[in-house]
Structure formats: C-alpha cells, structure tokens
Chains A and B, each alone.
Chain A
C-alpha cells in the first residue's frame, strides 16, 4: 500500500503548537498578574505616594507600621472571618444546587439561567441593587416586614419602622456575608455541576444495580469523586472573596464603624484615597502569604483526593 505523504505543515510541530496555545495565557499572567504583583511588592518596600512613585527602599518599615495599626488588625480579622463564614454557606448551597441542577425537571434551562445571573451581573451594578434593597430608610424588605406587622409599633422584630440593615453592626455584617454568598454561590455551583457531570455513568449504574439509594450514592460515591473539584471551587471562591472590595465599598464603605471594613477596601482607602501608596500596598500584601498557604494546602488536598 502506498501512503500519501503530506508536506511539512508548521502546525504539525507539537512544540510550536504548544507554545502558541500557551502564549496568551502566559502573557495574561505575566502582564496582568505577575507585573502588578511585583510592582506592589516594590511599593510595599518603598516610600511611594500617589504623587511620587520614585522607589526609595525603606525595608520592612511599612509592614511594621501596618502591623502596629489597630485598625489593620481588626480589618484583617474581619476579612478572614467573612471569608470563612461565607465559604461554609457557599459550599452547602452549591452542593445542594449542583445536585438539583443535574437532575431532569421541567424548566431546568430557565432555572439555571436565572440562577447564574448573580455571577454574570457586573458586581458594582448588582451591589447598587442590594444597596437599595438594604437601604437604611427605604428598604423594600423593611416595607414588607412593616406591612406584615413585624416592624413598627408593637412589631415582632422591632418597634422601629426599619431594621437598619447596613447601620446596625450585627445586621451589617450578616448583610455583607449574605450578599457575598448570593454572589459567589453560582460559580461554585457551576464548577460542581461540571464535576458531577464528569462522573462515569457506569459507576453510577453499578451503584444502582447494587441497590444504592440517592443519599448513599451522593454521600459515598458522588461527593468523594468530586472532592478535588470541590476544593478547586472553594479555592476560587475564597481567593475572589478575600481580595474583593467592591461589595463593601458600595454597601457600607466599611461601616458601621469598622465592622465591615475588609483588607481590599482598607488598602484602597489608605493607598489611593489617603495617598499613602506604600502602606496601601503593604496592607494588600499581608493577604499574600495566607492565600499562598491556603492555595498550596487546598491544591495538595485536591491532588491527594484525585490519586486515591
């Protein structure tokens, strides 16, 4: 048999095609992640201000000053607390919703579409919507509660006409966590749905043949199999939330007092609005070792789960 020999085609070269496919991602990482990150390290060890970006080295002075700042320590603690509490709820809701959305039911497409909206909507726009919903005086939620007799004179929840969602310390923190969960759950759900869909059907068929019911299949087969993906979803969600400032910038600007002030917002207030770019950079860099350790731990966990 005579084989047809093709001429040299550059894209047949595996090395070339590999490099071509990787280049956009590498450029993205280097230019939009790597360079700003290195710049912020340089800023953190220098004396830059918004008006003077000459890099004069000052060692660890900014980091020491930031650590001695009581407000920073409170902000750091708040950021960790908000992130961890949110992740618990995100994980629970995302698992439940992923299971629901991988079942067959009428209107599934529409339900999925509606559900993804919080993630697809630009965050600033969505937060303006929540700002109105949680307004200290004109909140429609308060109006509804007032009509139902929960608020107002003799009301079950308060004698006031308002609950002051963004003004009462406890409610403001709950509101911010709730909105973060609302915003981040769709992403985690979509990732988990992809994981559930990738489970080989023969395993599930075998379980069914062996008499495994829904909960047993879910807890002993599906969830262990998608554990690596769940860890990735959690990692995405945690990193996004840890560095986010938009939610609190629009909703509370960190108030009441400092109750909802998070690292990203404080870094912006000190570095850009306050002009102290060096300390602003130092504040944001405090998140790095923590996030790095978290990422390494979670990726190792995912890797081990995959090997098993």
Chain B
C-alpha cells in the first residue's frame, strides 16, 4: 500500500511537471560553481541547453567561484529574486526558511533509483523540522593520496592504513627525506575536513546522533593529542597557514608524502606529468581506535529558493530529476570527481574504478573508492548537518582547536573544553530558532 502511494506520488509529480512546464515562455536559471574539471562545465552547459530545447524551457547557467555561492544565495533570498536553482557545495541548512521543501523530488528519486548514500541524505534533510530543504545529487570522496615510492621505502607499499601507520611512516619519511605529511590545521576547508576525520576515527564528534554537543570527550582529546604529535613529528609549520590549494600544490610538487583530498590534486598532476601521477596512490579513510571515517570532500547540493514559483518551479524540479537520470554523464565528464548519491544511476561506476576511463596508470588506481560509502560521512556525523554544524564549520573552530595544541599554546584538554563551550553557544542559538534538535 505504501509503495502504491509513493508510485502515485511519483506519477502525480511528473504529471504536474509535464503539464506545468508546457508554456514556451518558461525560463529557469542556474547558479553553480566553476567546476574543478573545466570539461565538466562544457558538458553541463551544452546539456542544459539541450534539455531546454527538448522541454521548451529557456535555460541559462552562471558559473562562479565556489566561495561566492553562499553569499550570492543569501543576497538572492533576501532580495526575493534570483536564480531558479542554486548548487552549493556544503549543506545550506541555515538557509532552510528561504528554500522550498523538496520532499517530492527527493522521494521521487528514491522511488526511481533506490537508496541514497547516507552522506547525501544528511546534507539535505533536517529531522527537527522534517524538511527536505535540498536535493543532493552528488558528493566527492576524500581519500588519502600518498607518494608510493616514499611510503614503499618506509615499509608501507600500499600506503598507511591506520593513524598509527601515518604517524610512524610519516615521521620516518620526514626524518629521512625531509618530506612532511600534509594534514592542514588552518582555517580553511581541507583542514576542517581532515581534522574531523581524525576525531571521528578516534571515537569523538561534535554532536551525537540526537544533535547534543559532545565534543568535549576523552576520544576528542586523544584525537587532538594525536594530531598535535603528528604535526610536531612529521610535519612543518606550513600547515597552520594553508589555503585549500596548498595540499594540492605540495603533492604535485612532490613535497608532501600524504594528504587527504579529492582526486583533484592527482588529476592536475596527471595532466602535467604522467610518470609522477603514476607514483600517487590512494587509501581509504585511515582507521583509528573507533573506526575509519572521512568527510566527503564536498557535496553537490541543489536548492530552489522560495521566490521561485509556478512554471519556473515545476521546470526547475524537472531539470533536477532529469539531471539525476543522466548521472553517468555527470560522473564521467567530471573525471570521476562527482560520485552519485543514488548509486544505481551510474551502473558503470565500479567498472570505471577498475579501469579509469581517463587513463590512470595503473588503471585500477581508484579501486579503493569502491568502499567509499562505508567510510565517507558528512559534517554533522553521527547526527545530521544542521545549521549549527554549518556555523561551527564556518568559524573554523575545529582546526583552530587543533592548531592551538600543536603550537603548544594550550593543552588538548583546555583547547577541547574551550571549543566545546563555543560550539554549545552556537547550538543553543540555532536550537532557540527551532532548527536544531537535542538539548
């Protein structure tokens, strides 16, 4: 009975969409980032134009630097006018009141394509208000990238598997070659992800499953102590001043032995020096005392602001669903950067991971990513990514907490307690607005 209702919902949705966007003068506009892979934007722009012609809808696409997405979305919601669809790369949970509930297309997609990766659902759905404020179509894995020659010489031919390996092997490599490990501790995106990965793997987290703040724990303190030791013994002070591009640059230059990143650094190297690229290997999330977890690198999240109405709204929803239906093209043209939230939409994925269509050597370089859904989580893990989690992320509270200890300014206990206090303040603010559970 339940599935029959869902099926009816899907058909009624499509009926509405098909009838709703019949008028020739319907227009939609999209705002998204200038993709890391330029050929993806070329494909996407052509695809969007073709889709527009086929559906009798005018489509325009604007690309901006990813750092401008949130500020533009904020301005457009405030103005009550702007793009029909905005693609952001991190959960826009704090925008929830200005966004359409996209439950219909999320349920329609689940009905058509099956289970959604948990990292995607948690970046689109807010349980406390029971709202699908976004539609996450893709995410980017964040595996470890390591220098095969250096790690083989250190006795780890398959790269580090655990945080202990990273410390022992990374330290040995640093002592013998002067080449450090590259885990950022700076107020920037990659550092925020990498530091969280260690905390989760040691058993700590910012919040629990019910959105209560639990940062100040023995597990978090142990993770922070570990990261400080790693910095002191296997890294240089450069990590305190990194930008998001720094670990890419270091790996490409052969001056870092291990980083956590998407495939972007590797793909860049592949285009300029194939032999050097062949020397880069990938590892899944490193295992700590409590498991192996890493944050997804970014998410591709579509939102539709509330000012979008009528035919434009129907066309925007149709565009999103059709885009998902073509996800094999998305993954392929992004050079395996975009992974599908709905894995059944890209049946070729396992084959591509075994034999990279973009010419990796060896061809199965990305095979470790077959298990990505086992270890790739979202920013609010093990709860959801709510507005408080987004603000904690924006304020760089976690990498700053780690850096204070690594710089020797505070004990791990004091730094974690101080960070916990600020996180609690942020959670209480958003909880008062009814957008965070627990408490």
B249 and A52 contact, CB distance less than 8 A: no
How far is A213 from B400 in the complex, measured between Cα atoms in Å? 56
Partner of B255, one of A69, A137, A257, A274: A137
Contact of B395 among A137, A138, A257, A274 (CB under 8 A): A274
**Count of chain B residues with Cβ under 8 Å from any Cβ of A?**
50
Q: Nearest CB to that of B435 among chain A residues?
A: A49
- CB-based contact B238/A50 at 8 Å: no
Question: Which B residues are CB-close (under 8 A) to A306?
Answer: none
Query: Contact at B403–A253, with CB atoms within 8 Å?
Result: no
Decide if A65 is an interface residue (CB 8 Å cutoff): yes
Q: Is the CB of B387 within 8 A of A71?
A: no
Question: In the complex, what's the smallest C-beta–C-beta distance from B123 to chain A, in angstroms?
Answer: 14
Q: Are B186 and A137 in contact (CB under 8 A)?
A: no
> Cβ of B394 and Cβ of A269 under 8 Å apart?
yes
CB contact between B241 and one of A50, A138, A167 (< 8 Å): that residue: A167
Nearest CB of A to B391, in Å: 3
A272–B241 CB distance below 8 A: no
Q: Is the CB of B403 within 8 A of A257?
A: yes
**B432 and chain A: residue at smallest CB distance:** A47
**Is there contact, CB below 8 Å, between A253 and B433?**
no
Chain B minimum-CB-distance residue to A252: B241
Cβ of A243 under 8 Å from chain B: no
Interface check B242, CB cutoff 8 A: yes
**Chain A contact patch, size range:** 35 or more
**A118 interface residue (CB < 8 Å to B):** no
Given A47-B433, A136-B242, A275-B391, A253:B78 Cβ within 8 A: no
CB neighbours (8 Å) of B317 from chain A are: none
B-chain residues with CB within 8 Å of residue A184 when the two chains form the complex? none
Interface residues of A in 222-257 (CB under 8 A from B): 252-257
Q: Chain B 222-255, CB within 8 Å of chain A: the 1/0 string?
A: 0000000000000011111111001001100101
Query: Does B209 sit within 8 A of A, measured CB to CB?
Result: no
The secondary structure that dominates the B interface is helix
Choose the segment among B95-103, B273-281, B357-365 that binds chain A (4+ C-beta atoms closer than 8 Å). Answer: B95-103
Within the complex, the shortest CB–CB distance from B423 to chain A, in Å, comes to 11
Complexed CA–CA distance, A162 and B400 (Å): 22
B95's nearest neighbour on chain A, judged by CB, is A51
For residue A163, which residue of chain B has the nearest CB? B237
Contacts of A178 in B (CB 8 A): none
Binary contact readout B281-310 vs A (1 if CB under 8 angstroms, 0 otherwise): 000000000000000000000000000000
Whether a CB of chain A sits under 8 angstroms from the CB of B396 is yes
B404 within 8 A of A: yes
Contact residues, B50-85 vs A (CB, 8 A): 70-71, 73-74, 77-78
Is B187 at the interface (CB under 8 A from chain A)?
A: yes
Q: Within 8 Å of chain A (Cβ to Cβ): is B25?
A: no
- The verdict on B115 contacting chain A, using a C-beta distance below 8 Å, is no
Q: Are B387 and A255 within 8 A (Cβ)? A: no
**A142 CB → nearest B CB, Å:** 11
A137 to B93, CA, bound (A): 36
A58's nearest neighbour on chain B, judged by CB, is B432
A238 to chain B, nearest CB (A): 26
CB of A255 within 8 A of CB of B249, answer no
A137's contact among B185, B240, B249, by CB below 8 Å, is which? B249
A53 CB-CB contact with B under 8 Å: yes
Whether the pair B404, A257 counts as a contact (CB closer than 8 A) is: yes
Would you give the 0/1 interface string for B382-399, flagging 1 where the beta carbon is closer than 8 Å to chain A?
A: 000001001101111000
Q: Which of A253, A256, A269, A275 contacts B407 (CB 8 A)?
A: A256
Within 8 A of B (CB), among A120-154: 131, 136-138
Residues on B with C-beta less than 8 A from A258 are 400
Contacts of B98 in A (CB 8 A): 50-53
CA gap between A279 and B400 in the complex, in Å: 21
The smallest beta-carbon distance between A172 and chain B, in angstroms, is: 6
By beta carbon, the residue of chain B nearest A47 is B433
A115 lies within 8 A of chain B by Cβ? no
Contacts of A273 in B (CB 8 A): 70-71, 394
Not counting A255-B240, A256-B186, a sample of 8 additional A-B residue pairs whose C-beta atoms are within 8 angstroms of each other reads: A47-B433, A50-B78, A52-B98, A136-B242, A252-B187, A258-B400, A269-B396, A275-B94
25 contacts between A and B (CB under 8 A): A49-B433, A50-B73, A51-B96, A51-B98, A53-B78, A65-B425, A68-B425, A70-B421, A131-B243, A136-B242, A165-B241, A167-B238, A167-B240, A167-B241, A169-B240, A169-B407, A255-B403, A256-B240, A258-B400, A270-B391, A272-B70, A274-B390, A274-B393, A276-B391, A276-B429
